[in-house]
DNA sequence: AATGAATGAGGTTTCATTCAT
DNA sequence: GATGAATGAAACCTCATTCAT
């Protein structure tokens, strides 16, 4: 009954998914989530749309698969960099170096993770937020390490806020650097680290109360 | 007091445009550019779509009108805040206070200006980038003011990069604060200012490229 | 409310309508019926749309007014030219000269009369067909004049057909001439007259089936 | 045993395109380009609009497919008819016969090719112009064949003009014949050929200067 | 496992035309 | 009498998604 010869393009499921995610990742990175249609993805992967839906269910889930690949890579890279630092005070600088280095080496992953055309709500936004917070947590952990243990609890919120701010600064600087190419990734990382470190170190040395502003009143 | 019911009477052109921009602004802020349809906007205003097109030409231009309102407001607020500062060292703090205060007072404007679902290219992206760079320029100008005049040219790129980074940190912190509500807007502004100031001051006082720095900052 | 839109009554608004028709005529000639919107017309005339509708009822009737101006002019020109011809054999040539001359002198009128974007059915198509047939009738009358009176009735259909064909040839040649400018209007008219005259004269001088074809034209 | 009901089953791409072009061709012929909507076409084919767009891209391209079918048929018919003529002097007559015969046999093709509601600019207009000029070229080639070789260059423009005029005459006569049905297609073709041939033959025998009226100068 | 064929639903935009002042 | 304001209806086109093989 079955006369069809198994074609060479028929791959085991796992392998084909792998291959599909790779191609989709590249396309999403190039065009952004909104602008890349499922037709485009299917054409880029070299399969038909129904297969995409068979494997991933819908566009959102396909993007999630790409996101996972990119996000896991970045988190692992940062975690390793921060973890290797012996001195907690150097953790931020190490993290920034790793961040800029990662983007420099894999701009597609950056594009997927920090795509600005992602749908507002939904699972993707959640997942992106998750990765962002894992990154922030790495920074936050390093910041907390610099505090004496008796002050950690009270400062927790501030530390979280600062880690978010550091991430935001890094993200914006990356975008600017990608757009203008005005300096090297390494220089950008050092510049930002130089600027952030004094303030972060001061916070860990003095009272965390925001109203008590170190350097708040400039003697002149 | 004016207790005007949303009447469906004929309004003068200027008035109806005003009202339309207000309604569209609110809707765009709530749903984002992509998710808000022209039908929705028309329904919110209480008119039909052709009127929208008669007045604004197309969706993009309608959004631009909303953007202008939001962006001009923010830029004006920041410019005023920074301009009022006598001491250049305090400009960043003043700007951050104004930024957080503005968002606190008009969250819709923030949402319109920093909507993440905007189309990638086109006039809107251009305009948004324009506002962002005007904001960054305000910061950059303040940073430059702290430098001795003989070093300004060489530091220009770094100052631009730092102003972008400061904007990014502020933007991220605003998002976090809006999401979590973990502290007041004022506290968030102070926290960020406290953290950034030492590093920014150091940069202007010390030398990435050492040279003799006379004691004071050159007054403008 | 006045419903009838006859344009030939003595109206107090005659002057205004005259002016309106002139402006609309120019616009229709420039852009064609389909591409000229009522908004455009109103702007070109310098009045508001409701006034247009007050005067002419709708777009179709407004165009009809323009059409009348153009068509009457062409018919009058051709009638005069043909009428002045003493020799019936010269009527076709005279008509062609007048036709090309008219178009050369008033291209807008040509454009309105022979616009190719007019709606297929409806009053306009009817009116255009009317003008075309009045033009053809002028030619037909001249052709008939060349026939001995006892053959006129039987040849009537053929004469009608030929007059249509002559009109078609002239129209196509005008379009080509307007498009290419490869020769003067006068030369084009002479060329066509030269080519048509022998055949037309033969038909009037000999049997209606000069080619001696078995399936030839059989008068009924 | 039912042979073949007009099933709505899934057709292979080529077959469905074929069927779609056929249905669209008929509809465009009946209503004209502007009045036939894509919804109408889809309904006529028995599919939904997206399929139409999937296969043809847009309305213009769908029309182009219909145009190609009609135009190629007419050009081929005329080329064959003219090519088979041994005597160049008979080429015009043969072409006219073929033209009227073609329209008689496929009025829809005529309607598609010579639709008067087509958009002014764009690819369709270009393509229609292309077909028109190919038809005119066939006539022009036949006219040139009748000229002695040493006069061909100087007469080129006139020959082009005359071929356009012949096409125009034929086109107008076809329209009239389709509208009135006053004679058979064959009779119309012969009538026009009879009328044109003497003039065309004279031109090839005498001087091409238009001002030099050939064929018996009429006394004035 | 994989596909070609097909669709539902909705989006932006346009235009002739009329209402209410 | 003339205007600015407003609309009904419909056109073209797109995209994520599924059906039948």
Of C168, C182, C198, the CB nearest to D157: C182
Inter-chain touch A191–B87, beta carbons under 8 Å: no
Nearest CA in chain A to B89: A218
Q: Tell me: the pLDDT tens digits for C58-114?
A: 999 999 999 999 999 999 999 999 888 877 778 889 999 999 999 999 999 999 998
Could you write out the three-class secondary structure of chain C? CCCCCCCCCCCCCHHHHHHHHHHHHHHHHHHCCCCCCHHHHHHHHCCCHHHHHHHHCCHHHHHHHHHHHHHHHHHHHHHHHHHHCCCHHHHHHHHHHHHHHHHHHCHHHHHHHCCCCCCCCHHHHHHHHHHHHHHHHHHHHHHHHCCCHHHHHHHHHHHHHHHHHHHHHHHHHHHHHHHHCCCCHHHHHHHHHHHHHHHHHHHHHCCCCCCCCCCCCCCC
A174 vs C120, residue with greater confidence? A174
- B1 is a domain residue: no
- The pLDDT mean for chain A works out to 84
> Nearest to residue B199, comparing CAs of C87, A193, D43?
A193
Of A200, A210, A218, the CB nearest to B190: A210
Q: Do chains A and C touch (3 or more CB pairs under 8 A)?
A: no
Q: Tell me: the pLDDT tens digits for C130-173?
A: 998 899 898 888 888 877 777 777 788 999 999 999 999 999 99
Inter-chain touch A168–B173, beta carbons under 8 Å: yes
Identify nearest nucleotide to residue B47 by CA to C1′ distance: F6
- The pLDDT mean for chain B works out to 84
Identify nearest nucleotide to residue B8 by CA to C1′ distance: F6
Contacting partners of chain D (3+ CB pairs under 8 A): C
Q: Tell me: the pLDDT tens digits for D126-181?
A: 999 999 889 989 988 888 887 777 777 778 899 999 999 999 999 999 989 988 99
- A133 is a domain residue: yes
Q: Report yes or no: A25 and A108 within 8 Å, Cβ to Cβ.
A: yes
Range in B51-65, B108-122, C28-42, D152-166 the model is least confident about: B108-122
In degrees to the nearest 10, what's the CA dihedral of B18, B21, B24, B30? -100
Contacting partners of chain B (3+ CB pairs under 8 A): A
Q: Tell me: the pLDDT tens digits for B69-100?
A: 999 999 999 999 988 887 777 888 999 999 99
Interface test with A, best of B122, B125, B146, B191 (most A CBs within 10 A): B191
Write phi, then psi, for A95 (nearest 5 degrees): -65, -45
Is residue D115 classed as helix, strand or coil in its secondary structure? coil
- The confidence band for A96, taking pLDDT boundaries of 50, 70 and 90, is very high
For D56 and E3, how far is CA from C1' in angstroms?
21
Q: Do chains B and A touch (3 or more CB pairs under 8 A)?
A: yes
Inter-chain touch C217–D187, beta carbons under 8 Å: yes
For D40 and F4, how far is CA from C1' in angstroms?
37
Inter-chain touch B89–A218, beta carbons under 8 Å: yes
Taking 50 as the threshold, does the pLDDT of residue B1 lie above it? no
For A152 and F19, how far is CA from C1' in angstroms?
59
Q: Do chains B and D touch (3 or more CB pairs under 8 A)?
A: no
Determine the average pLDDT of the residues in C12-19: 78
Of D165, D214, D216, the CB nearest to C192: D165
For B90 and E2, how far is CA from C1' in angstroms?
66
Residue C171 sits in which domain range? 67-202
Distance in angstroms (rounded) separating the CA atoms of residues B4 and A20: 58
Q: Residue A206: in which H helix or E strand, if any?
A: none
What pLDDT was estimated at residue B206? 55
Write phi, then psi, for D3 (nearest 5 degrees): -75, -70
Strand F contact at CB of residue C37, distance < 7 A: no
Of C165, C171, C198, the CB nearest to D199: C198
Q: Report yes or no: D109 and D119 within 8 Å, Cβ to Cβ.
A: no
CA distance B1 to chain A (A): 38
Of C32, C173, C198, the CB nearest to D168: C173
Task: Calculate the alpha carbon distances from C186 to C97, C103, D69, D169, D220 in Å.
Answer: 7, 11, 39, 19, 19
For B50 and E20, how far is CA from C1' in angstroms?
18
Taking 90 as the threshold, does the pLDDT of residue C209 lie above it? no
Q: Tell me: the pLDDT tens digits for B195-220?
A: 999 998 877 665 444 333 333 333 33
- The confidence band for A206, taking pLDDT boundaries of 50, 70 and 90, is low
- C195 is a domain residue: yes
Q: Tell me: the pLDDT tens digits for B9-49?
A: 788 889 999 999 999 999 999 888 888 999 999 999 999 99
Of C160, C172, C213, the CB nearest to D164: C172
> Nearest to residue C175, comparing CAs of D10, D129, A154, B68?
D129
- The confidence band for D205, taking pLDDT boundaries of 50, 70 and 90, is low
For C16 and F1, how far is CA from C1' in angstroms?
13
Protein residue minimizing CA–C1' distance to E3 = A48
Identify nearest nucleotide to residue D53 by CA to C1′ distance: F13
Q: Residue D146: in which H helix or E strand, if any?
A: none
Taking 90 as the threshold, does the pLDDT of residue A133 lie above it? no
Protein residue minimizing CA–C1' distance to E11 = B37
What pLDDT was estimated at residue A9? 56
What pLDDT was estimated at residue D2? 37
- The pLDDT mean for chain D works out to 85
What pLDDT was estimated at residue B205? 64
- B40 is a domain residue: no
What pLDDT was estimated at residue B213? 36
Protein residue minimizing CA–C1' distance to F3 = C48
| CB neighbourhood size of C172 (10 A) | 24
What pLDDT was estimated at residue A34? 85
What pLDDT was estimated at residue D90? 86
- D100 is a domain residue: yes
What pLDDT was estimated at residue C219? 42
C-alpha triplet C74, C75, C79: angle, nearest 5°: 120
- B11 is a domain residue: no
In degrees to the nearest 10, what's the CA dihedral of C162, C166, C172, C177? 160
For A41 and F19, how far is CA from C1' in angstroms?
21
Protein residue minimizing CA–C1' distance to E2 = A51
Taking 50 as the threshold, does the pLDDT of residue D3 lie above it? no
H-type alpha helices, D85-208:
91-105, 107-113, 122-145, 152-180, 185-205
What pLDDT was estimated at residue A14? 80
A220 vs C43, residue with greater confidence? C43
Interface test with C, best of D172, D175, D182 (most C CBs within 10 A): D172
Inter-chain touch C216–D187, beta carbons under 8 Å: yes
CA distance B143 to chain A (A): 12
For strand F, give the nucleotides within 7 A of a protein CB. Answer: 2-21
Range in B128-137, C49-58, D86-95, D192-201 the model is least confident about: D86-95
Protein residue minimizing CA–C1' distance to F2 = C51
Inter-chain touch B192–A165, beta carbons under 8 Å: yes
Write phi, then psi, for A206 (nearest 5 degrees): -115, -170
Inter-chain touch C216–D190, beta carbons under 8 Å: yes
Nearest CA in chain B to A203: B195
Determine the average pLDDT of the residues in D66-87: 91
Taking 90 as the threshold, does the pLDDT of residue A215 lie above it? no
- Which residues, 6 or more positions from C61, have their beta carbon under 8 angstroms from its beta carbon? C5, C123
- The confidence band for A163, taking pLDDT boundaries of 50, 70 and 90, is very high
DSSP string, D155-180: HHHHHHHHHHHHHHHHHHHHHHHHHH
- Which residues, 6 or more positions from C15, have their beta carbon under 8 angstroms from its beta carbon? none
Size of interface A-B (CB pairs under 8 A): 145
Distance in angstroms (rounded) separating the CA atoms of residues C191 and C76: 23
What pLDDT was estimated at residue D149? 75
Half-sphere exposure of A207 (CA within 13 A, CB side): 7
Inter-chain touch D211–C199, beta carbons under 8 Å: no
Return the CATH number at C119. 1.10.357.10
Determine the average pLDDT of the residues in A26-30: 92
- D149 is a domain residue: yes
What pLDDT was estimated at residue A112? 93
Taking 60 as the threshold, does the pLDDT of residue C7 lie above it? no
What pLDDT was estimated at residue D72? 96
Half-sphere exposure of B190 (CA within 13 A, CB side): 16
User: Maximum distance among all alpha carbons in chain A?
Assistant: 93
- A17 is a domain residue: no
- The confidence band for D215, taking pLDDT boundaries of 50, 70 and 90, is very low
For A15 and E5, how far is CA from C1' in angstroms?
27
Could you say which residues 43-102 of protein chain D have a Cβ atom less than 7 A away from any atom in strand F? Answer: 49-50, 53, 57-60
DSSP state of B36: S
What pLDDT was estimated at residue D89? 75
What pLDDT was estimated at residue D210? 45
What pLDDT was estimated at residue D9? 73
Q: Tell me: the pLDDT tens digits for B158-186?
A: 999 999 999 999 999 998 998 889 999 99
What pLDDT was estimated at residue A212? 42
H-type alpha helices, B85-184:
91-105, 107-113, 122-145, 152-180
For A34 and F19, how far is CA from C1' in angstroms?
26
C-alpha triplet B79, B80, B85: angle, nearest 5°: 100
> Nearest to residue A200, comparing CAs of A146, A157, A154?
A146
Task: Calculate the alpha carbon distances from C97 to B211, C77, C100 in Å.
Answer: 91, 10, 5
Identify nearest nucleotide to residue A39 by CA to C1′ distance: F15
Inter-chain touch A165–B187, beta carbons under 8 Å: no
Q: Look at chain B and report how many structural domains it folds into.
A: 1
- Which residues, 6 or more positions from D139, have their beta carbon under 8 angstroms from its beta carbon? D82, D91, D92, D95, D162, D163, D166, D167
Of B118, B199, B201, the CB nearest to A197: B199
What b/e readout covers B76-87, taking b as 16+ CB neighbours within 10 angstroms? ebbbebbeebee
Determine the average pLDDT of the residues in B128-134: 91
Strand F contact at CB of residue C49, distance < 7 A: yes
Range in A155-164, B157-166, C1-10, D13-22 the model is least confident about: C1-10
Determine the average pLDDT of the residues in A33-54: 91
């Amino acid at each position: 009954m079955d006369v069809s010869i198994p074609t060479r393009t028929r791959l085991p499921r796992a392998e084909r998914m792998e291959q599909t995610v790779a191609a989709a990742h590249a396309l999403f990175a190039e065009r952004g989530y909104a602008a890349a249609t499922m037709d485009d993805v299917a054409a880029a992967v070299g399969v038909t749309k129904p297969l995409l839906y068979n494997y991933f269910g819908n566009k959102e889930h396909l993007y999630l698969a790409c996101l996972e690949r990119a996000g896991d890579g970045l988190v692992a890279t940062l975690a390793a960099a921060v973890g290797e630092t012996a001195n907690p005070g150097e953790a931020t600088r190490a993290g920034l170096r790793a961040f800029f280095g990662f983007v420099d080496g894999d701009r597609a992953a950056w594009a997927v993770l920090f795509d600005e055309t992602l749908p507002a709500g939904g699972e993707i936004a959640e997942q992106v937020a998750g990765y962002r917070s894992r990154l922030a947590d790495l920074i936050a952990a390093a910041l907390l390490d610099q505090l004496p243990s008796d002050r950690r609890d009270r400062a927790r919120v501030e530390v979280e806020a600062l880690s978010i701010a550091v991430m935001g600064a890094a993200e914006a600087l990356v975008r600017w650097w990608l757009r203008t190419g005005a300096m090297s990734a390494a220089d950008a990382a050092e510049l930002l680290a130089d600027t952030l470190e004094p303030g972060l170190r001061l916070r860990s040395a003095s009272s965390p109360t925001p109203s008590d502003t170190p350097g708040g009143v400039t003697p002149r």
